Structure 1
Amino acid sequence: MPLTVDGRFAPYGPSHWAALGLFAIGCAGLVLLGRAQRAGAEPGSEFGGQARGFSRAYALAIVYVMIGTQAHTLLPGQWRLGGSLPLQLCDVAWVASVGALWTLGRRWFALTYYWGLTLSVQGLLTPALNGADYPGIDYLGFFGMHLMIVWSAVYLTWGLGMRPDRGGYGFAVAVTVAWAVATFVFNLSAGTNYGYLNAKPGTGSVLDLMGPWPWYVLVEALVILLGWALITWPWTRASRRGRTSPPPEATRQRL
């Protein structure tokens, strides 16, 4: 049964809080699992067999869920030019999550880290969801996609110990700019609004604090650049400190 009286999703209603609670529980569980897998890895191996096996199973689970929800949007009764095409950034982010989980590669991880921990988290906190509430397919598809993206970033970062760096930051910025330009041009030609690059969403969002179009797009870009730099800095700082700190044996010898 839907959790709202009229069957429509309500931000910060019971079904939204349920999704956020599931998000927190999933984050904690995946961090603990990833750390256990890391501790059980063979000496000299960055990722053990358990981590690779689980991450690939997780990647296949994302593909399974997303193929089902994407296929639903393409059905004759559901098709909309302005909403059925996989052109939202989260539609690209889940593919990046699959790539990161399957390969444990640095560039796929960079996209998952930056997109997942900022833009997909924003989707969880301020969902632009106009469809039916739980257990409607729109609700399940929206939160299923966003949860799996963010969980992937959390698992890879705080579970398996993968870290972003300056190269990954630059790569993520370049790919995001390429997506934004291509999507903006498509929106202009097709009269759509993927990525909310051409107009704000009808529901309330953080974009309402950034002024009218096109200024909110520029403000959003600056916020993203600064935010991504801030979530890169602790890891690069720790890496520099690790490289410059003398080993314990050398310190004892000097003393």
Structure 2
Amino acid sequence: MMANTSYFDLFGRDHLLTMLLILVACVALPLFVRRARSTGIERSVAATLCIVLLLNEALKFAARILVYKLPVEEQLPLHLCAATAFLVAYMLMRRSYAVFEVAYFWAMGGTLQAILTPDLQAPFPSLYYMVFFFGHGVVMLGVAYAIVVFRFRPTLKSIAKAMAALAAYATVIAPLNWLLGTNYLYLCHKPAGTSLIDYLAPWPWYIASLGLIAAVSFVIWWLPFGLLKLRSRQS
């Protein structure tokens, strides 16, 4: 049973149970679909996940504007996790390996980090909490689905593509932040909640550190596939 507190408790019982549910879903659903060996089920589940991702982004935007009365310019789907959600939705619908190459690393390096250390103040069972973790969880589920069901695998070249896409996206977002007075991608200041960024240098130096951390994390998340490929060649 989840606790009912007035604040978000990082790595508290609610947070840990939520992450466990996400992990179970990311393992169970893709394995079920793969073992079903049905093209119809595979396509239907992929399409459903795509629709769910898009609907969640719409619901998240509406909830923040209509329920929490937050400024519209600060709630646009421009943060990395929202961009990743759109990429994963497109990847699932089109079965696009090219999009997977970027979405995989953005999800593992960004969405997973957001699940572990969310920029969140609202506790369970608030609507904000539910929409936040549901959306991020479905992004991770979509990536797991692509790996298990589509059998997509990232390569070393995928790392370069993901880094180039990230740099290009940041280049677009930076002037938008200046125009709107926003902080998308946390390019202007550190997030309010506890996160890895808290341990980095002050602005603007932490931005360069984030780029380096992204590159290192991308390599780390590629390593299991690289090692498996090397092992298969040697056997």
Q: What interval of TM-score do these two structures reach, taking the shorter chain for normalisation?
A: 0.7 to 0.9
2:28 equivalent in structure 1: 29
1:151 equivalent in structure 2: 141
Residues 190-209 of structure 1: pairs in structure 2 closer than 5 A = 190-209=180-199
Residues 4-83 of structure 1: pairs in structure 2 closer than 5 A = 4-5=4-5, 7-37=6-36, 40=37, 48-75=39-66, 78-81=69-72, 83=74
Work out the CA distance in 2 between the residues paired with 1:125 and 1:91. 16
1:49–1:17 distance in 2 versus 1, CA, 3 Å: same
The CA deviation at 1:121 is: 0.6
Correspondence 1:139 to 2:129: yes
Q: Is the 8 A contact 1:73 1:79 kept in 2?
A: yes
1:173 equivalent in structure 2: 163
Secondary structure class of the residue paired with 2:201: coil
The CA deviation at 1:164 is: 1.1
1:186 equivalent in structure 2: 176
The CA deviation at 1:93 is: 0.8
Which of 204, 211, 214 in structure 2 is aligned with 1:221? 211
CA deviation string 1:110-159 (max 9, x = no partner): 222111112111001101102x3222221112111111111111121134
List gaps (5 residues or longer) in structure 1: 42-47, 247-255
Secondary structure class of the residue paired with 1:74: helix
- TM-score, normalised via structure 1 length: 0.82
Work out the CA distance in 2 between the residues paired with 1:84 and 1:238. 41
The CA deviation at 1:81 is: 4.5
Q: CA RMSD in A?
A: 2.5
1:170–1:127 distance in 2 versus 1, CA, 3 Å: same
The CA deviation at 1:100 is: 1.2
The CA deviation at 1:11 is: 1.5
Identity rate of aligned residues, in percent? 25
Aligned length: 235
Work out the CA distance in 2 between the residues paired with 1:10 and 1:229. 31
Work out the CA distance in 2 between the residues paired with 1:173 and 1:203. 25
Residues 93-172 of structure 1: pairs in structure 2 closer than 5 A = 93-130=84-121, 132-172=122-162
The CA deviation at 1:170 is: 2.6
Q: Is the 8 A contact 1:93 1:149 kept in 2?
A: yes
Work out the CA distance in 2 between the residues paired with 1:212 and 1:33. 46
Work out the CA distance in 2 between the residues paired with 1:173 and 1:154. 21
Bigger helix share? 2
Work out the CA distance in 2 between the residues paired with 1:203 and 1:28. 29
Paired amino acid for 1:17:
L
Work out the CA distance in 1 between the residues paired with 2:73 and 2:187. 13
Structure 1 segments, 4+ long, off by >4 Å, are 236-242
1:213–1:161 distance in 2 versus 1, CA, 3 Å: same
Correspondence 1:212 to 2:211: no
Secondary structure class of the residue paired with 1:213: coil
User: Which has the higher Rg, Structure 1 or Structure 2?
Assistant: 1
The CA deviation at 1:82 is: 5.4
